[in-house]
Amino acid sequence: MSGKLRTNIFSGLEEIVKKDYSLGENTWFGLGGRAEYFICPRTVDQLADVVKRCGENNVPIRILGFGSNLLIRDQGVKGAVVKLDSEEFSKIECNGLVLNAGAGADLGKLVLDCVRKGMGGMEVLAGIPGSIGGAVKMNAGGIFGDLGSSVESVTLMDNQGNVFEKSKPELSFDYRQTNITAKFILAAQIKLYEADPQQLLNMVKEIWIYKKNTQPLNTRSAGCVFKNPRGMSAGAMIDRTGLKGTRVGGAVVSEKHANFIVAEKDCKSGDVISLIETVRKKVKEKFDVELELEIEIW
């Protein structure tokens, strides 16, 4: 495809399309290269238009949430990166104890809103950063619970720009995954229960104290790097392999929680990727277990 053709793909959508956009600053790691196209559709129709144009022109398309569990490679990303952060994609509507939350809504804010209103079910996600779309896609959660147990249905878009819904029991959630194959999650319908706001707030405080004591919260990282193998703790295995404090360039295995990699001054994405491979290799040698990534690498 000629450069000229490639340039005209998004004609008429210049207001929402940026070219050669620095992606790293949209992630918690703050690392990585640029996106060929960075697109922030304002409406569902605009998103459908973008999806169709990308499909017709063989432009790969990815969805960016809050970038809290994402590492962008130093060489950047070919194709289009779409962020659903407009008002239409971020709104939250409350119908009794059922929430309809847009994919771009802030999970942390939603948790606190529910706690204040005495709506139980979301408090278990306290301290987990991210957008609702990303949280649904990877069934965000921790030792206190996960989002999937409260999600009743999701609104999705397929690669042709068609919008449809998927509900339980057809919708299923597992550890850090779901059976949603559609690339675009537009919204989630979340069913909560009535609870005492004070009790919910106490639970949130308890979770925050636990996280503060066990995780390197005020650092550039992307949360847990590896999934816990069934019945085991990835962090404990990395710790027992003696890898805390191990460094490649500006990337370091956290001394506080071995399943976190922290990006220090002058860190490159390549440093983090090399360190991930080192950790995987050493854990495989010691425990004969292949660690699977929990973060995404683009």
Mind listing the pLDDT tens digit for each residue in 109-133?
999 999 999 999 999 999 999 999 9
- Helix ranges, the chain (H): 3-7, 44-56, 87-90, 107-116, 132-137, 197-214, 234-240, 269-287
* In a shared domain, residues 72 and 148: no
* In a shared domain, residues 70 and 96: no
Query: What average pLDDT does the structure give for the chain?
Result: 95
Structural domain includes residue 265: yes
Mind listing the pLDDT tens digit for each residue in 139-149?
999 889 999 99
Domain that holds residue 144: 90-200
Yes or no: say if 37 and 80 are a contact pair by the CB < 8 Å rule: yes
CB contact set of 206 (below 8 Å; sequence gap of 6+):
none
Q: pTM of the predicted model, to two decimals? A: 0.92
Dist CA 117 CA 135 (whole Å): 21
Cis peptide bond upstream of 169, omega within 30? yes
- Flag the least confident range among 7-11, 15-19, 34-38, 263-267: 7-11
Mean pLDDT of 41-51: 98
pLDDT higher than threshold 90 for residue 160? yes
Dist CA 119 CA 98 (whole Å): 9
* In a shared domain, residues 53 and 108: no
* In a shared domain, residues 191 and 102: yes
Mean pLDDT of 235-261: 98
pLDDT higher than threshold 50 for residue 5? no
H or E, element range at 154: strand 151-157
Mind listing the pLDDT tens digit for each residue in 189-198?
999 999 999 9
Structural domain includes residue 205: no
Mean pLDDT of 240-247: 98
What total number of domains does the chain contain? 3
Query: What is the β-pairing status of strands 296-297 and 70-71?
Result: parallel
Q: Write down the pLDDT at residue 143.
A: 86
Mean pLDDT of 182-192: 97
Q: Write down the pLDDT at residue 2.
A: 40
Q: Write down the pLDDT at residue 4.
A: 44
pLDDT higher than threshold 50 for residue 273? yes
Instruction: Give the CATH number of the domain where residue 253 resides.
Output: 3.90.78.10
Structure token pair of residue 230 = 């069934």
Q: Write down the pLDDT at residue 6.
A: 56
* In a shared domain, residues 291 and 240: yes
